[in-house]
Amino acid sequence: MIEARNRVGGRIDTRTSKTWPLSVELGAWRLNKASDAVLLTRLASLGVETNPFAGRVFTGAAAATKTATATANTVGPAAVQTATQWAAEQPADSSLKTSLDKSGAAKSAASSDSDGLPGAAMLEEYLAFLSTVNGASDSALSSWYGAEGSPEFDRLVTGGFDTMITDALDGVHTSLSTAVVGISYSDSGVSLKLGTGESLKVDRAIVTVPLGVLQEGSIAFEPLLPFSHRTAIDAIGMGAVETVWLKFDKPFWSTDAAAWSLVGTDDDLTTWFNLEAVTGEPVLVGIVGGDAARRVAKLSDDQLVDSALRALAPFAGG
């Protein structure tokens, strides 16, 4: 196994510390019981703890009134369904935002208040959630391929996702901090050119680098990848997701909802998971995707904490 970074796991990125009550997952950790069944069985067989997560029932706080209301968001998913059904009948794909506007779904969502939260805010909440799943804002998300069928996460990995990686690599020779920069291939084998200047000949190679690496042309393929592959690599966008973990001495919140959302705000960190409801530990995890994730990634640690605490204030209930 040849790995460019100085650690294995890629976007599975578990951090542990004596001062934290549970493993911190900076990459993937939200799973779906049905679509990730094989993965969950594997984690269970390795003794990695996962916890049920109460899906899309969320406590929505309107930033203006600083009041939190527990509700299940049905307005947002219904509007997205209307928009994608409309888009399916169109001759060309468009962004989810365009389909929400042109189909009239955004307008009808805006007129359907729910549990004291305005319909427009419910749609905003659901779009923020979708961007944490797809890494794309509604203005970038495809109506044909992006929005519908996004999984609802109902299981969280809380016992160290990286155990699965280290177990899989047990006995496998692994070269860290070694980037592959060239791949020549034919029926008789594969030659790998490494960033260190060395070359390696192997019978077969499986390439699992991220799309962005292929788009940047960081690996020179000889011959070029098939035209259909290059077309697909060129056509697909890269998403962005950022995760913020905050640990508190004791809970400042009174809600036992596992998912929180702040609506009606310019702040970016609006989607939160309350791990106290899931694990008993006073830990909150903010997740942000798309344009908001790119903005959050540029904040300093201090700015990030300020932004997070501002977004969480309405949940303190005074």
Which residues are near ligand FAD by CB under 6 A?
2-5, 10-12, 27-30, 179-180, 208-210, 213, 218-219, 241-243
Identity of the residue, 99 or 307, whose beta carbon is nearer to ligand FAD in the bound complex: 307
Identity of the residue, 123 or 244, whose beta carbon is nearer to ligand FAD in the bound complex: 244
Identity of the residue, 68 or 269, whose beta carbon is nearer to ligand FAD in the bound complex: 269
Least distance (Å) between residue 177 CB and ligand FAD: 10
Identity of the residue, 21 or 212, whose beta carbon is nearer to ligand FAD in the bound complex: 212
The answer to whether 297 and 133 have CB atoms below 8 angstroms apart is no
Least distance (Å) between residue 67 CB and ligand FAD: 29
Least distance (Å) between residue 241 CB and ligand FAD: 4
Least distance (Å) between residue 231 CB and ligand FAD: 20
Least distance (Å) between residue 62 CB and ligand FAD: 27
Identity of the residue, 11 or 18, whose beta carbon is nearer to ligand FAD in the bound complex: 11
Least distance (Å) between residue 10 CB and ligand FAD: 2
Identity of the residue, 92 or 206, whose beta carbon is nearer to ligand FAD in the bound complex: 206
Residue number of the CB atom closest to ligand FAD: 10
